[in-house]
Amino acid sequence: MIQSIDLRIGNWVEITGKGFVQIVNGQSIDTLTLSGANPIPITHSLLLAFGFIQRGESELYDLKGSNFTYHLGVRRVTIFHPGNAFWHWLGSHIDHVHQIQNLYYCLIGRDLVLNSNTIINRY
């Protein structure tokens, strides 16, 4: 179960008995913990659906048009600094879709948008 404080409008979650839903208004966030909201694990298919591009055969996924890279194997994010060789591994494990959505929003200032609603139904 997810605590409502961990969610924001636009997050994707799984609701028991309803499947995957996107939070579209703030009022529904307050009732999600009571109605059985569960986190959605990050998968290869979901990363592609959110616009990430797999780097060869590796477990690294780069988000097109940003310096944001997700490592599926260790479940961590790397931020590269443009114009130099510096990069940072973020210490927290990012295991679920709502976590990567929230982190991206906090660091980049834009929502991480799902490209295809059909892919999220198959995780």
Predicted local distance difference test score (pLDDT) of residue 122: 46
Name the H helices within the chain: 26-32, 44-49, 97-108, 117-120
Q: State the average pLDDT over residues 94-111.
A: 90
pLDDT in tens, 48-98: 999 999 999 999 999 988 888 888 988 888 777 666 665 566 667 899 999
**Among 99, 123, 103, which Cα is nearest to 39's?**
99
Q: Are 64 and 87 in contact (CB under 8 A)?
A: no
CA angle 107, 111, 115 (to 5 degrees): 130
Most confident residue range from 6-10, 95-99, 112-116: 95-99
Q: Which residue has the higher pLDDT, 62 or 20?
A: 62
Domain boundaries, the chain: 1-40, 41-118
Q: Are 99 and 86 in contact (CB under 8 A)?
A: no
Predicted local distance difference test score (pLDDT) of residue 119: 47
Would the pTM of this model clear 0.85, i.e. be above it? no
Please state, in angstroms and rounded to a whole number, the distance separating the CA atoms of residues 123 and 13: 12
What tokens does 42 get?
């990050």
pLDDT at residue 31 tops 80: no
Report in angstroms the alpha-carbon separations of 46 from 18, 33, 35, 54, 71.
Answer: 19, 23, 24, 12, 13
